[in-house]
Amino acid sequence: MALKATICKATLGVADMDRAYYGTHALTLALHPSETAERMMVRVLAFALHASDRMEFGRGIATDDEPTLWERDDTGRILTWIEVGLPDERVLRRAAGRADEVVVYAYGGRAVDLWWQRSAGTLAKVRNLAVYAVPPDAVAALGTLAERNMQLHFTRQEGALWLASDAKTAALQLVPVSVHGD
pLDDT for residue 52: 97
pLDDT for residue 80: 98
- The pLDDT tens digits for 13-23 are 999 999 999 99
Structural domains in the chain, CATH included, are 7-179 (3.10.640.10)
pLDDT for residue 106: 97
pLDDT for residue 34: 86
Q: Taking Cα atoms as reference points, which of 136, 145, 134 lies closest to residue 170?
A: 145
- 101, 130 Cβ separation under 8 angstroms: yes
| 43 vs 69: CA distance, rounded Å | 8
- Please identify every stretch of the chain with a pLDDT value under 50, giving residue numbers as ranges: none
| 182 vs 180: CA distance, rounded Å | 6
